[in-house]
Structure 1
Amino acid sequence: MKKANRIKRNEDFQTIFKHGHSTANRQFVIYSYPKKDQAHFRVGLSVSKKLGDAHLRNYIKRCLRHVMMEFDANQLIKHDVDIVIIARNPAATMTYHEMKSSLEHVLKLAKVYQHRSK
């Protein structure tokens, strides 16, 4: 994922948690915060140590980044939004394709996923 699409600073995370809107399903919690002055979406990931060891947490983050890159390549995410994705416990046992469909579901609930017909 491009550096411009990442949220890394704690201040940015705290702003999104405080002012953003949360949406959840069993596997993920999404905080979305609209920003009118940016040309692309940004994503921050949070995977708790409760989910497993470093290897598993990094695997989950890699899968989530890859899913978001796919959505970005197909222009499926609104570009004027900041998103924080928090993985819940069931995400630790999911395959890549299960994560993709679950993340798509929760992004649709959060109204940041836009379906493009070809």
Structure 2
Amino acid sequence: MKNVNIIKKNHEFQKIISMKTYKNSKSFVVYYRNKDDGFLKYGISVGKKIGNAVLRNYIKRVVRTIVFSLLEKYKQKKLDIIVIVKNKFLGLDYNENYKQLDNILLSL
């Protein structure tokens, strides 16, 4: 089954980021855009400064599992979000990163 909750296109990323509405924490910057209909859609971005491709893909998999577990809780929110991972992500464990992203999504 195709996952329709993921934002993949560059122009969609740029449209959300250009709105310049965001929340941040130690590990994440979350850009968001409110919309009138639909459901929560998300995109994940990990910059090249964090590490090589293997490490970046690992981080994306971890963040994807965090977002997927939070998706059930926040599925009623009508938002498009872009999760940008910071360098501090690697210094914290899974539970701390989970709590940070949960707090950000709760405040939206």
TM range (shorter): 0.7 to 0.9
**8 Å contact kept, 2:44–2:84:** yes
- Give the TM-score taking structure 2 as reference length: 0.88
Deviation at 1:58, TM superposition (A): 1.3
Residue number among 95, 98, 103 corresponding to 2:96 in the alignment: 98
Aligned to 1:61: 60
Deviation at 1:59, TM superposition (A): 1.6
Which blocks of at least 5 consecutive residues in structure 1 are unaligned?
A: 112-118
- Give the TM-score taking structure 1 as reference length: 0.81
After superposition, the C-alpha distances for 1:58-92 in whole angstroms (9 at most, x for unaligned) are 1211111111111123x235431000000111012
Aligned to 2:51: 52
Aligned to 1:108: 106
Aligned to 1:8: 8
**8 Å contact kept, 1:45–1:86:** yes
Aligned to 2:35: 35
The count of residues paired between Structure 1 and Structure 2 equals 107
Equivalences for residues 64-79 of structure 1 within 5 A: 64-73=63-72, 75-79=73-77
Aligned to 2:26: 26
After superposition, the C-alpha distances for 1:27-83 in whole angstroms (9 at most, x for unaligned) are 110101011121x2110111011111222211211111111111123x235431000
Which blocks of at least 5 consecutive residues in structure 2 are unaligned?
A: none
- Partner Cα distance (1:59, 1:104) in 2: 20
1:52 alignment partner, SS class: coil
- Partner Cα distance (2:52, 2:7) in 1: 23
**8 Å contact kept, 1:52–1:92:** no
**8 Å contact kept, 1:47–1:61:** yes
- Partner Cα distance (1:52, 1:36) in 2: 37
- Partner Cα distance (2:99, 2:43) in 1: 19
